[in-house]
Structures are given as structure tokens and as C-alpha cells.
Amino acid sequence: MKIAFHTLGCKVNQYETEALKGIFARKEHEIVGENDVADLYIINTCSVTSLADRKSRQYIRRMKKKNPEAIVLVTGCYSQTAPDEVAAIEGVDIVTGTNEKRNIPKYVDEFMSRRSNSSVSGIASILDIPDNSEPELHILRYEELETYEETGIITLPESRTRAYIKIQEGCDRFCSYCIIPYARGKSRSRSPISVINEAKALVEKGFKEIILTGINTALYGSEPDFEYKGDKRGIEIIISLINEIEGDFRIRLSSLEPTVINKDYVSGLFKYDKLCHHIHLSAQTGSDNILGQMNRKYSREDYLDIVRQLKAFDPHYGITTDIIAGFPGESDADFRDSLTLIDEVGFCKVHAFNYSKRPGTKAAEMKSHIAPAVKSKRTAELIKAGEQTAKLFFEGCIGTMRRVLIEEFDVAASCFIGYTDNYIKTYISDTKQYSSGEFVDVILTEIYKDGMRGE
Ligand code: SF4
């Protein structure tokens, strides 16, 4: 069978699609491109914003048009949080939740055998026997999402330099604007053995950067009874084990939530020489008032404490973040707090978004929602402020030596590019031939395009 995939959303979704490709490939199915004509289309959806829902619906319709005879299976966060809405989209055959990836081949086989039987029922229809081609739903309630679904070692990673490893699933922090806990269930951790086996396999294959990802990665190992050979240090268990693997590679953390970590937590990470000096630390807002409304359990000062700890360890520690503009009730003063936080931290990248009302979340029920035009104006201001601090951060890095992992040759800039450990996109200014996956020590010389030049 020819199978095509389309994935929306985060690194976890992309990782799970790679895992699913591996599961089907091992069953000798042919994985084809998402624009190819296939017998089965699998859409791995996202529901983090209303825009993500809309895009998911668009792709479902687009794929069915490619081959109306094909089976269309929808999985992921949108199908978990709104299964009936997804099932109502014309052409959808199977809808599964976020914790069912391993069972998808079985559901497809069962569907196909029922379909072939019902072609017998074609005759049945002549005989007026009811047609049961309702979409098939395989959805557990989010409260039932209790186990970590092992999908085995990834076999077909896309790039050849960096690879993601999913180590954690779910989140139980219930930030008032977030739909994720209802899509992914409570936090569950993957077994350290399984993570280490995958890391070793990737290093053996020549990968140079391993990125640890999850829905709320910082919650790794937070289950009450979780321990590994008596070690209860959560994510540090994984980092310390991977740090011991022989080989010239580095470890990057995809994101850590300030709802979980604090300054003591980060100081524990400094002893791992393979760990990149970069952290994605979602602030979401700089206002204590709005942090409270968001049900995010830290203050602006707690956040700045973590930043001071990181900068004390390495003054050029790369910090990236997410900030929401226009959360219900956000006053001009609250918004100014987000702008001043950006200045005070000196982020190397700020991702700013309009608040998106998610039905089923507490914030959706809140009063004084902000007008879309005001939200967009504030998001634009946040992005501008982020670009200014990124420039200041880059300026501060001029003359420093960093290690760059070469990714590719940039034709437009006619030079090799890659990222430093502290997450600066670097354009290598000499004409030497490099290969993708090679580490190069460079002196950062000037701000250039969306990053810096390195010699
Ligand atoms: S920490 Fe908050 S924002 Fe992040 S996934 Fe959990 S509930 Fe959502």
C-alpha cells in the first residue's frame, strides 16, 4: 500500500510521524511524498490555536481530493480534542487520538477488511441492508491517557545532522489558555533505557546533535514513583546518560517550562559538557498579574532568577522564548511588562503570538477579551522588540569563539551555514569546503542577515 503523511504542529508531532512511517515501513508498505497519489493518507493534526484546527481541516480535504478512493486517517491533537468535528469532515474514514499511534496499522487493516466485506454489501445495498460507512473513531478520554506509548527507535529521520528524540508525553499544568493537557493527558516519561538505545543508535549513524523533546520536557521523571537505578533527578537522568555516550556530538533541550524549573534546577545542568548553552524558556508574559490569570506558577522575578543563573554560568547563554499578546484582561501596563521583560532578558529569539481562544479552556470563559486589531498590534511590537534584543545579543557575542555544527551550503549567501551551541545561525565566511555534520570552531565577527558571520 502507498502511504502519504502530512504533519502539522510541534516537534513531538513530527517525531511521532517519523515513528509511524517506521512502523508502516517495517510492514513493507511504501512511504510516498505528501503530494503523491496514495492509498492511505495520514494527517497528524495540531490544535494549539484555532488557526491550527483550520489548517488541519484544509489538509484533510486537500488530501482526499488527491485520491477520492484513498483511506483518510486523522490523528493527533485536533482529533483527540474534537473527534466528532473531524469525523464530520467529508471523506474522513478513521479518527484516532494522540495515544494510539501503534494501533493505527491494525485499525487500517480492520477498516480495509470491513470495506472489502461491505463491497460484498454493495449487493446488500441493493437488498436494502443499511450502509455503515460512518467514520471509525478510536479515541480514549484524556483522563485515560495514562501510559507512555513506546513507538520504537526512529528509523527514517529526515536530516542527517540533527535528530529529535521524544522522551516525555503529556502535561498536567493546565495553563488557563492551553488545550494541550486535554489533547495529550497527564505527564508520562519514556523509559531511560529506550531513550539511551535511540541516542546510541543515532550517534552510531553519525548524528551530531540530539534534541530532547516532549510536550513538557521539564516534567520528565516527575511521576511520583519514577526512578532509574535509584536516581530520581528527572531529566538530568537522561542528560547524564547521553552525556556519557562515546562520540563527538552535542545535546540540545527543545524547551523547558518555568512552570517546572527554577534556578537550582538549571545549575544542575551546567556540568554536562555536551549540553548546548541554549534554552527555550517560555515566558508567555512579563506581567505577574497575567501570569496569575494564566495559572502559570512562577513570578517575573522567578523567571529572571533563572536567567541570571544562566548568564552567570555563560554570559552568552542563548535564551529563546514564547510570548502571548492580548491575553484576556491584558492592560497596557501588563503589555509594557512583557516589552520590558524582553529588554531585561536579552533574548536571542522571541516567538510572539496573538492569544488564541481555545474552547474548553478556562481562559476562553474569561471576560474582557482583547480586540483582534489590538492583539496583532501588540504581537508586532513584541516581534520588533525581540529583533532589537537579538541584535544586542549578537553584538555581545562579537569576538567570542563558539562551535558551529555545519548544516548546509547556503546558495544565496554562497557560504556554509550552521548553528552555534548557543543557537546563533552562523554564516561561515571562508571558502573552505565543509561537509554537513562537521563541527567548526569559529570567532563570531559581525551581525549578518538573521544571524552572524563566523571565521
Ligand atoms: S505547561 Fe502550560 S502551556 Fe505548556 S503544555 Fe502544559 S498547559 Fe500547555
Q: Which CATH number fits domain 2-140: 3.40.50.2300, 3.10.129.10, 3.40.50.12160, 3.90.180.10?
A: 3.40.50.12160
CATH T-level topology, domain 401-454: OB fold (Dihydrolipoamide Acetyltransferase, E2P) (2.40.50)
Location of C-alpha cell 490569570: 293
Domain with CATH 3.30.750.210 in the chain: 143-276
CB 171 less than 6 A from any atom of ligand 1: yes
Distance 216 CA to ligand 1 centre (A): 7
CB 174 less than 6 A from any atom of ligand 1: yes
Q: What is the pLDDT of residue 261?
A: 79
User: Cα separation of 14 and 21, whole Å?
Assistant: 11
The H or E element spanning position 245 is: none
Q: What is the pLDDT of residue 325?
A: 98
Q: What is the pLDDT of residue 129?
A: 47
CB 257 less than 6 A from any atom of ligand 1: yes
- Cβ neighbourhood burial of 55 (10 Å; 0-12, 13-18, 19+): middle
DSSP-derived secondary structure letter, 217: G
Distance 184 CA to ligand 1 centre (A): 10
CB 170 less than 6 A from any atom of ligand 1: no
Distance 116 CA to ligand 1 centre (A): 43
CB 259 less than 6 A from any atom of ligand 1: yes
CATH T-level topology, domain 143-276: Transcription Regulator spoIIAA (3.30.750)
Residue of 11, 145, 259 to mutate, ligand 1, most atoms within 8 A of C-beta: 259
Is this prediction's pTM over 0.85? Answer: yes
Q: Nearest residue CA, atom 4 of ligand 1?
A: 216
Domain with CATH 3.40.50.12160 in the chain: 2-140
Q: What is the mean pLDDT of the chain?
A: 92
Residue of 257, 284, 355 to mutate, ligand 1, most atoms within 8 A of C-beta: 257
Give which of 270, 342, 361, 352 is closest to 300, Cα–Cα.
342
CB 180 less than 6 A from any atom of ligand 1: yes
> What pLDDT digit, counting tens, does each position of 219-240 carry?
999 999 999 999 988 999 999 9
Residue 218 has pLDDT above 70, yes or no: yes
Q: Nearest residue CA, atom 1 of ligand 1?
A: 173
Q: What is the pLDDT of residue 159?
A: 54
User: Cα separation of 384 and 346, whole Å?
Assistant: 13
Give which of 399, 381, 376 is closest to 446, Cα–Cα.
399
Residue 296 CA: nearest ligand 1 atom is 2
Give the percent of the chain with pLDDT over 90.
80
Residue 184 CA: nearest ligand 1 atom is 5
Domain with CATH 2.40.50 in the chain: 401-454
CB 175 less than 6 A from any atom of ligand 1: yes
Residue 190 has pLDDT above 60, yes or no: yes
Average pLDDT over residues 157-174: 86
First to last CA, the chain: 50
CB 216 less than 6 A from any atom of ligand 1: yes
Residue 120 has pLDDT above 80, yes or no: no
> What pLDDT digit, counting tens, does each position of 277-286 carry?
999 999 999 9
